Structure 1
Amino acid sequence: MLDLNTKIIGKKIICIQEVDSTNEFAKEIASQEKEGTVVVADIQRRGKGRKLRSWVSPKGGLWMSVILKPNLHPEHMPKLVFISALAVVETLAEFGIEGKIKWPNDVLVNRKKICGILSEGKYSTDSVEYVVLGIGLNVNNEIPVDLLDVAISMKDVLGFRIPLVEVFRSLLEKLDKWYLRYLDGQYALILEEWKAYSAVIGREVRIVGDKEEIIGTAVDVSDDGSLIIALKDGALKKIYYGDVSLRFS
Structure 2
Amino acid sequence: MEWNIITLDEVDSTNEYARRIAPTAPEGTVVVAKRQTAGRGRKGRRWASPEGGLWMTVILKPKSGPEHVTKLVFVGALAVLDTLHEYGIRGELKWPNDVLVDGKKIAGILSECRLNHFALLGIGLNVNNEIPDELRESAVSMKEVLGRAIDLEEVLNRVLRNLSRWYGLFRNGRHGEILKAVKGSSAVLGKRVRIIEDGEIIAEGIAVDIDNSGALILKGEENTVRVLYGDVSLRFS
Q: TM-score, normalised by structure 1?
A: 0.92
For 1:24, what is the secondary structure of its paired residue? Answer: helix
Taking the aligned partners of 1:106 and 1:166, their CA distance within structure 2 comes to 22
Residue 24 of structure 1, aligned match among 16, 22, 46? 16
Tell me, yes or no, if structure 1 residue 130 matches structure 2 residue 122: no
Cross-structure match for 1:64: 56
Cross-structure match for 1:244: 234
**Which 5+ residue runs of structure 1 have no aligned equivalent?**
1-6
Measured against aligned partners, the alpha-carbon deviations of 1:44-98 in whole angstroms (never above 9, x if no partner) come to: 0000000100000000000000000001112211110111111100000000100
Letter in 2 for 1:223: N
Tell me, yes or no, if structure 1 residue 186 matches structure 2 residue 178: no
1:1-16 alignment, distance < 5 Å: 7-8=1-2, 10=3, 12-16=4-8
Taking the aligned partners of 2:202 and 2:187, their CA distance within structure 1 comes to 20
Q: CA deviation at 1:212?
A: 4.9
Q: TM-score, normalised by structure 2?
A: 0.97
Aligned partners of 2:104 and 2:140 also within 8 Å: yes
Cross-structure match for 1:229: 218
Aligned partners of 2:69 and 2:113 also within 8 Å: no
Taking the aligned partners of 1:117 and 1:176, their CA distance within structure 2 comes to 16
Tell me, yes or no, if structure 1 residue 216 matches structure 2 residue 235: no
For 1:23, what is the secondary structure of its paired residue? Answer: helix
- How many correspondences in the alignment? 234
Taking the aligned partners of 2:87 and 2:97, their CA distance within structure 1 comes to 21
- Please provide the CA RMSD for this pair: 1.0
For 1:182, what is the secondary structure of its paired residue? Answer: helix
Taking the aligned partners of 2:13 and 2:217, their CA distance within structure 1 comes to 32
After superposing on structure 2, the runs of 4+ consecutive aligned residues of structure 1 that deviate more than 4 Å are none
Measured against aligned partners, the alpha-carbon deviations of 1:149-204 in whole angstroms (never above 9, x if no partner) come to: 00000001000000111110000000011000000011111100110000000000
**Which 5+ residue runs of structure 2 have no aligned equivalent?**
none
